[in-house]
Structure 1
């Protein structure tokens, strides 16, 4: 059974309960702080804007909180859930909400996301790629192998490598165009 499918199995007769013991809550908080910025960047690589990426990542973590003790592969599970949430956001076609002040409290891991000019260019080029190329690029550059990516996207490793090669070619062409453009 694929990782994404196995991680999605939940008994629909009862709603999962969030972790109760402090050790599990502490483990989740540490994982959240470490993983949230990377998850947002993963969603950005799918062509989302920063608001959509943040919302999709936060929604994935909210679901993970309820199922934390049953999720076997949290990195893959979160990315799958965040991507699906992004697709639902795009279907609704809502605009971003007004920027609201954050309530006092801890530091949000999203504040640590800093994109350089080159990464902003990469994200812009990625947004113009076909969806399958964006998805493959996001999974591979988030540390998943071609085999794992193929399993999670329900395709073949060869198709993953081909989509990745096409995405890299598009990125290289955009980079060359940018270098040739007058400053």
Structure 2
């Protein structure tokens, strides 16, 4: 990957990588820092990475895990809402509604068990169950099962949330 290809990749994939890390449970600022560190490490590979999207996610996940373990040793973590980047520029009212809904979805995702949350993060980034299985060292059937259970938990949690709000999201 030459410098121009790397720059294009960074601009395109960085927001999705931050979202991936937020789904895994990284706080907003930490997700950005970890994503940047993973991107820097990709650059240091001098083009020796066959699948950069998968590579930066695995690398970022490992960095985040190491950081999280270190932070837990120091003190108890405090979870904060992450700002998930918008796909297109929105007006103030639309942006507020989008951010509110994104926070709600992120809260529901963070309520999933860790493995289901991890599999969903990869799935949201467009990886197939087979690719996820290979990257995480799991069986494809296990990944499919985690996706199915995660979707069901999310569906139930969303129903409960919208039911409490009288048919409207909270």
Instruction: Sort the TM-score into its range (normalised by shorter chain).
Output: 0.7 to 0.9
Match of 2:29 among 51, 61, 64: 51
Under a length normalisation based on structure 1, what TM-score does the superposition of the two structures give?
A: 0.74
Residue 41 of structure 1 pairs with residue 19 of structure 2: yes
Question: Within 2, Cα distance between the matches of 1:166 and 1:134?
Answer: 10
Q: How far apart are residue 119 of structure 1 and its match?
A: 2.2
Contact residue 44 and residue 50 of structure 1 kept, 8 A: yes
Residue 155 of structure 1 pairs with residue 138 of structure 2: yes
Question: Within 1, Cα distance between the matches of 2:84 and 2:150?
Answer: 27
Under a length normalisation based on structure 2, what TM-score does the superposition of the two structures give?
A: 0.79
Segments of structure 2 that go 5 or more residues without pairing to the other structure are: 78-82, 87-97
- Higher relative contact order structure (alpha carbons within 8 Å, sequence separation ≥ 6): 1
Question: Within 1, Cα distance between the matches of 2:122 and 2:21?
Answer: 10
Segments of structure 1 that go 5 or more residues without pairing to the other structure are: 1-18, 97-110
Contact residue 48 and residue 127 of structure 1 kept, 8 A: no
Structure 1 match to 2:51: 73
Structure 2 match to 1:181: 164
Residue 146 of structure 1 pairs with residue 129 of structure 2: yes
Q: CA RMSD in A?
A: 2.1
Q: Cα–Cα, structure 1 residues 133 and 112, in superposed 2: closer, same or farther, change >3 Å?
A: closer
Residue 90 of structure 1 pairs with residue 90 of structure 2: no
Q: Which has the higher helix share?
A: 2
Question: Within 2, Cα distance between the matches of 1:133 and 1:149?
Answer: 12
Contact residue 47 and residue 124 of structure 1 kept, 8 A: no
Match of 1:118 among 82, 85, 101: 101
Q: Cα–Cα, structure 1 residues 178 and 135, in superposed 2: closer, same or farther, change >3 Å?
A: same
TM superposition outliers: structure 1 runs of 4+ over 4 Å: none
Instruction: Kindly tell me the number of residue pairs found equivalent between the two proteins.
Output: 147
What pairs up with 1:122-133 in 2 under 5 angstroms? 122-133=105-116
Structure 1 match to 2:41: 63
Structure with max Cα Rg: 1
Q: How far apart are residue 116 of structure 1 and its match?
A: 2.9
Question: Within 2, Cα distance between the matches of 1:174 and 1:68?
Answer: 44
Q: Cα–Cα, structure 1 residues 152 and 112, in superposed 2: closer, same or farther, change >3 Å?
A: closer
